[in-house]
Structure 1
């Protein structure tokens, strides 16, 4: 029986923030922005890909050889949309050669990433409330 995955502190999976020794995370970052996704990071909820990572591990896939410890280094990295890009929040980013210089992470993304899960949820709830209020005002409401 599959063990449930705790999603209370979910993060966006990047190679830099995934644990290469954790079966739930060792392949997780590799599923972002798959070919043919057309401006979407993931087709399914992010937590689903943690389950896929674990399944690959259970079927024998490894990032590092169990016997000798050798691990092939990736030749690509996911480059998120740059600061100021109109698609920074929803754009898929792109896989680029590993030696491509990193782009600046938008200030707002760093600020949201620093929030606790509870504060992040409250922040998004407030943004949604304000967007609804703005839409009401635009439609001749209050």
Structure 2
């Protein structure tokens, strides 16, 4: 099911006419709909500010759905913005091969600072590889004693 956008809702159908107004309501973001009185008051104010006075020209806000790359629509509620606000252009992923070494270094520093690279091991922090003297395991040729296993 897609998000019910204003231009897609039938204004003559009571079951669908206001569906678009209930997207990304004030209150717990991405949480269950546990609605205390304070939140209901915010919803009431939102409906008033959306122009629900049977005068669409008084509508002050409009809904902008999440960008296609913003994740799943159920987890990315979009946002309400002042009416007439331009939709932000979608930001694409930069082509790393076209960046300078300095730009790549800045990206790596930002990823480290944000914790995005915390799961990786920095090779500079590892002990150098060193050989150690020990005893080697000996094996017998396959079939010599019947099992060919290590001793």
TM, length-normalised to structure 2: 0.38
TM, length-normalised to structure 1: 0.40
Higher relative contact order (CA 8 A, sep 6+): 1
Kindly name which structure, 1 or 2, has the bigger radius of gyration based on alpha carbons: 2
Normalized per residue, the structure richer in helix is 1
